[in-house]
């Protein structure tokens, strides 16, 4: 889910950069210098705004999320297996790397992600276990080609991605191909509207095509509204040039991998989660490079499923029902402007 906004906004950055370069064509030496400075300043301002709105586009970031304990009911093949108190601690990191420019309209990038999740079960009922702690590591690599073109006289943004994941069990445990297409319907100083679709080729995925909508609007008194379907809805306010506060809901997902020896379940399995995080957040720019952030609120699990490695996710053998609980997140980002 996180890659949806990445594709859109990175393409917008390419476009802004190209336009800035075109506006800097010289007429004389002094005019050339002034135009170049203006173009560079405009480009930096736009990129900074993009990185503030989309943390997953930042050159590097590390974050830790504490999810408070709630009640978990675990079901195996449709029958109740156990219940327990359940909590999580998740540390995530990402690194975005530019690989090459393909002319003025295309760019190839790579994104490396790492997630360490610790699951805590206490006061377990239904099976012979009082408490348990389990950790899983997941490493992902995404290579993406993005391009800006025109269609029917409007800006048209496209991308193609190859996504690979591995975990503690070794090897390539998950592979997916994705393609996006977005057309800009409206662009003014205050409003941006794009619509399109994402095609997903993944043997475990049940929905091959997702509709995409991105709507951004600058409101009065330093407020910005950002709606990216199906990923997020946030309202952000600029306090000053170093501090921003926000409130909203973000949809996030994760995957980890297991090997089992029991004949009752698949030997190789994926554990996929889908959840909503709702609440306020604040970010503060420490210096020219570092941005620190904190958020808190309610964590609402939407899906907790385990299924065979290359099977459809709706053919799960285990699913968990978990209470909505509080969460706290701390993060540190590299932001160059």
Say if pTM beats, i.e. exceeds, 0.85: no
Share of the chain above pLDDT 70, in %: 85
Helix and strand numbers, DSSP H then E, in the chain:
2, 15
Return the higher-pLDDT residue of 141 and 5.
141
Task: Give the per-residue SS3 of 102-116.
Answer: ECCCEEEEEEEEEEE
CA atoms within 13 A on the CB side of 80: 9
Over residues 243-250, mean pLDDT = 94
Contact between 1 and 303 under an 8 Å Cβ cutoff? The reply is: no
Could you give the angle at the alpha carbon of 298 between the alpha carbons of 277 and 280, nearest 5°? 70
For the chain, give every domain's residue range.
2-334
Model confidence at 21: pLDDT above 60 = no
pLDDT category of residue 317 using cuts at 50, 70 and 90: very high
Q: Tell me, what's the pLDDT at 156?
A: 92
pLDDT digits (tens, 9 = 90+) for 151-209: 888 889 999 999 999 987 778 899 999 999 999 999 888 898 999 999 999 999 888 99
Q: Which two tokens stand for residue 322?
A: 């978990």
Q: What 3-state DSSP class applies to 32?
A: helix
Share of the chain above pLDDT 90, in %: 45
Q: Tell me, what's the pLDDT at 262?
A: 82
- Averaged pLDDT of the chain: 84
Contact between 162 and 142 under an 8 Å Cβ cutoff? The reply is: yes
User: To which residue do tokens 């679709």 refer?
Assistant: 197
Closest CA to 95 of 140, 64, 65: 140
Over residues 106-134, mean pLDDT = 85
Pair type for strands 290-308 and 243-259:
unpaired
Model confidence at 47: pLDDT above 80 = no
Q: Tell me, what's the pLDDT at 34?
A: 60
Residue 213 CB neighbours (<10 A): 15
Q: Tell me, what's the pLDDT at 1?
A: 39
Q: Cβ contacts of residue 150 below 8 Å, gap of 6+?
A: 156
Q: Tell me, what's the pLDDT at 246?
A: 94
Strand partners, 97: 110
Residue 269 CB neighbours (<10 A): 23
Over residues 235-261, mean pLDDT = 91
Contact between 147 and 101 under an 8 Å Cβ cutoff? The reply is: no
pLDDT category of residue 281 using cuts at 50, 70 and 90: very high
Q: Which of 27-36, 279-288, 297-306 has the lowest mean pLDDT?
A: 27-36
Q: Which range has highest mean pLDDT (40-44, 104-108, 301-305)?
A: 301-305
Q: Tell me, what's the pLDDT at 124?
A: 83
pLDDT digits (tens, 9 = 90+) for 65-102: 999 988 888 888 888 888 888 889 999 999 999 888 77
Contact between 212 and 192 under an 8 Å Cβ cutoff? The reply is: no
Alpha-carbon gap, residue 321 to 259, rounded angstroms: 22
Q: Which of 99-103, 195-199, 230-234, 303-307 has the lowest mean pLDDT?
A: 99-103
Distance of CA 57 to the CA centre of its chain: 9
Alpha-carbon gap, residue 81 to 315, rounded angstroms: 18
């Amino acid at each position: 889910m996180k890659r949806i906004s990445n594709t859109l906004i990175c393409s917008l950055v390419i476009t802004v950069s190209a336009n800035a370069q075109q506006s800097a064509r010289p007429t004389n030496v002094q005019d050339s210098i002034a135009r170049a400075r203006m173009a560079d300043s405009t480009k930096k301002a736009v990129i900074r705004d993009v990185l503030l709105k989309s943390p997953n586009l930042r050159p590097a970031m590390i974050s830790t999320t504490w999810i408070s304990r709630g009640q978990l009911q675990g079901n195996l093949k449709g029958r109740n297996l156990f219940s327990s108190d359940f909590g999580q601690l998740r540390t995530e990191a990402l690194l975005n790397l530019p690989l090459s420019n393909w002319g003025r309209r295309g760019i190839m990038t790579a994104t490396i992600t790492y997630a360490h999740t610790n699951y805590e079960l206490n006061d377990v009922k239904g099976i012979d276990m009082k408490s348990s702690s389990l950790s899983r590591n997941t490493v992902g690599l995404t290579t993406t080609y993005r391009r800006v073109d025109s269609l029917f006289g409007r800006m048209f943004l496209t991308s193609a991605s190859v996504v690979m994941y591995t975990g503690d069990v070794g090897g390539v445990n998950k592979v997916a191909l994705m393609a996006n297409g977005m057309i800009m319907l409206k662009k003014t100083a205050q409003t941006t509207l794009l619509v399109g679709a994402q095609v997903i080729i993944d043997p475990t995925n049940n929905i091959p095509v997702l509709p995409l909508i991105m709507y951004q609007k600058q409101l009065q008194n330093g407020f910005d509204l950002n709606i990216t379907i199906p990923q997020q809805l946030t309202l952000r306010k600029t306090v000053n040039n170093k501090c921003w506060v926000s409130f909203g809901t973000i949809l996030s997902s994760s995957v980890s991998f297991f090997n089992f020896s029991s004949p009752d379940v698949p030997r190789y399995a994926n554990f996929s989660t889908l959840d909503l995080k709702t609440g306020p957040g604040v970010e503060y720019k420490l210096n020219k490079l570092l941005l620190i952030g904190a958020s808190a609120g309610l964590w609402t699990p939407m899906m907790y499923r385990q299924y065979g490695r290359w099977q459809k996710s709706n053919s799960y053998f285990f699913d968990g029902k978990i209470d909505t609980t509080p969460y706290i997140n701390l993060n540190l980002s590299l932001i160059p402007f």
